[in-house]
Amino acid sequence: MITLTDIEKIMPSLKENWINPGPNGRLRWNDRDTWQSVFLKRETMRSMLEIINGLENVSDMTVVDAGCEAGLFSVILSQKFKKVIAIDMDETSIINAKKTLKIFDSFGFDISNIEVIHAHFNEQRTLLEYDAILMVDGFGTGPVIPFFKRNKDILSKVKMFIRTDREDFQISLEEQEEYIKELRKKYKEFNFNLTEYKTMKHCRRADAFVGRKNETNI
């Protein structure tokens, strides 16, 4: 398992080796700052780390890290899942993901179960074999609930769906409860149970969450 302490220790080496740095030493991808280079500052990322490390009964699953960027979540997933497919359409991201793997390997982590693919996930989604999928907000998938309607093929295929959602406004606790209720309902439509979620303090809403199918629903 890769902990927050591990990432704090390794992050300086990652930033030193990742290519194409932007202002303030932050990596840039298609003219946007990467969220992975500011991992330690973002509650979204820390919430997802907690959720991944808390997953059970996934050691026989293959997971796709769709839009893996610099591969940080790929290595975190690799400590829990049987195999990780790290895929990204951006060449710089793939170069950096491979650097990330080498650095974590040098720190003693076994990352031999990660396959890195330079391609757009949407072009490979029906060709790859996988049981679970991770999509973090950097993938550009948009709000989660509309996402369900556009990606029925993915959701019918996988046993587990791990995602973040992000909206830049505050909501009340009552509105958050309604949001979670709607999220559970949407997951149910695709035979998923909303099994874990973390909320962000600054906007008090579900931010990182997991949907998992029961064995009877697979």
**Model confidence pLDDT, tens digit, residues 42-76:** 676 788 888 899 999 999 999 999 989 899 999 99
pLDDT of residue 218: 44
Q: Which of 218, 178, 201 is nearest to 44 (CA)?
A: 201
Q: What's the rounded Cα separation, in Å, for the pair 23 and 21? A: 7
Lowest-pLDDT range, 32-36, 44-48, 206-210? 32-36
Instruction: Tell me 169's DSSP state.
Output: S
Residues 6+ apart with CB under 8 A from 196: 51, 54, 55, 209, 210
Whole-prediction pTM: 0.84
> What are the boundaries of each domain within the chain?
4-217
- Is the domain defined by 4-217 classed in CATH 3.40.50.150? yes
69: left (phi over 0), alpha (psi -120 to 50) or beta: left
E strands, 102-191, where? 114-118, 132-135, 160-164
Length of the chain: 218
